[in-house]
Amino acid sequence: MKVLLAGESWESISTHIKGFDQFSSTVYHSGADPLIQALTPIAEVTYLPNHRAAREFPLSITDLSAYDAVILSDIGANTLLLHPDTWERGELKPNRLRLLAEYVSGGGGLIMAGGYLSFQGFQAAAGYAGTPLEAVLPVTLSRYDDRIEEPEGLSITLLDPNHPILQGLPGPWPYLLGVNQVTPKANATVLAKAGESPLLVVGTCGHGRSVAWTSDVGPHWCPDVFCQWSGYAPLWQQIVTWAAAKSA
């Protein structure tokens, strides 16, 4: 199985002030390691961090179709919409959100994981509401900042423990620290909640399947205790396996 993971990276710029003098430093971060390690036993994972995804994310259905499933995690809509050649030189390029929607309808698997630049995101900056991608997700998105921060922790409730994604997972599930607020579509299935909020929602579109995981795949919303839980790897393996299977 081949999986494309896009996003889950960022750069931090710090200003250091020492009396009269100051200087800046930058640090590159990747939050993809727990997920990649979880999927490696069952899949060949191609990882495009945000700074590479803008240019290298597939620009055709043919190239997208090389993957059984695509995971978007903490990557805003603009990174996929604004290819560097479009942003810098005004060149025409395909709308990659529309291509992803076509990919799902044709039988591909799509998973969106939560975060500050997922779904609608922090200050609505992720910007997927109203795009072609929303049409193939199993959830309807807020038009506003959709974060629910729960520093005291969210407990997990399973609504359909016999679903193939949830079968055999050890309990109890560790806590999570936040989710993106979404509304499940009428034809979708909510498999799990974090507190009172949908956490894991699945659905079909055309011949494909889509999954919304509304929390992070790693810190901060998905803390180390969750990533180190013995159910983390099988959960993500079963999410990807289910998404990659074509619907009838």
pLDDT of 247 reads 62
pLDDT of 104 reads 98
Q: What's the distance, CA 171 to chain centroid?
A: 24
AA identity, residue 61: I
Residues 127-157: pLDDT tens digits?
Answer: 999 999 999 999 999 999 999 999 999 999 9
Under DSSP, the state recorded for 119 is: T
Averaged over successive runs of 10 residues, the pLDDT of the chain (248 residues) comes to 96 94 93 97 98 97 97 98 97 98 98 98 98 98 98 97 96 97 98 98 97 97 98 98 85
pLDDT of 246 reads 76
pLDDT of 248 reads 55
pLDDT of 119 reads 98
Query: Structural domains in the chain?
Result: 2-7+29-244 (3.40.50.880)
- Whether 111 contacts 138, CB under 8 Å: no
Please tell me whether residue 158 adopts helix, strand or coil conformation: strand
pLDDT of 148 reads 98
Q: What's the distance, CA 180 to chain centroid?
A: 11
Q: Which helix (H) or strand (E) holds 199?
A: strand 197-205
